[in-house]
Amino acid sequence: MFSEVDPRSPTPLYDQIASRIRIAIAAGDLVPGRSLPSVRHLASRLRVNPATVVQAYRALAADGFVEMRQGSGTFVCEVGTGRKESERSAQARQLVRGLLSEAARRGLSAGDVAAAFRAELGSEVE
């Protein structure tokens, strides 16, 4: 989850970092009480501005996903099951929205995409 970010994406870098951490918390990959990497470490690793990492951590703190403790770091908070579910569905919908606009750009209708979805999911179930 602390892997590459895409500077060419229209989604701001801080948002990309925050989303990945949010989904990791929602999926239970990051457990409550665990500390996130330091700003210095993550900025250097992702080669982004330290202010971008701070902005991502602040956004997560504002949503109640993490807690920033002065001097000791940033820690994952306990997040309720309802919150986890809504975060997962929010991220899934965001993916689909991106897919639909890309499809529209290529001249495909929502119906085309839905049919493709059914075909792909069907083959996966079998």
Shortest distance, position 8 Cβ to other proteins, whole Å: 4
DSSP 2: -
Shortest distance, position 111 Cβ to other proteins, whole Å: 19
CB-wise, 58 or 83, nearer to other proteins?
58
Chain residues binding other proteins by CB under 8 A are: 5, 7-8, 10, 12-13, 39-40, 43-52, 104-105, 107
CB-wise, 12 or 73, nearer to other proteins?
12
CA distance 117 to 88: 19
Q: At what angle do helices 13-26 and 81-105 cross, to 10 degrees?
A: 130
- Please check whether residue 80 is in contact with residue 8, taking contact to mean a CB–CB distance below 8 angstroms: no
Shortest distance, position 45 Cβ to other proteins, whole Å: 7
**Tokens at 106, concatenated:** 């290529």
CB-wise, 77 or 100, nearer to other proteins?
100
CB-wise, 54 or 77, nearer to other proteins?
54
Shortest distance, position 26 Cβ to other proteins, whole Å: 26
Residue 124: CB atoms within 10 Å: 7
User: Coil, strand, or helix at residue 105?
Assistant: helix
**Tokens at 115, concatenated:** 């049919």
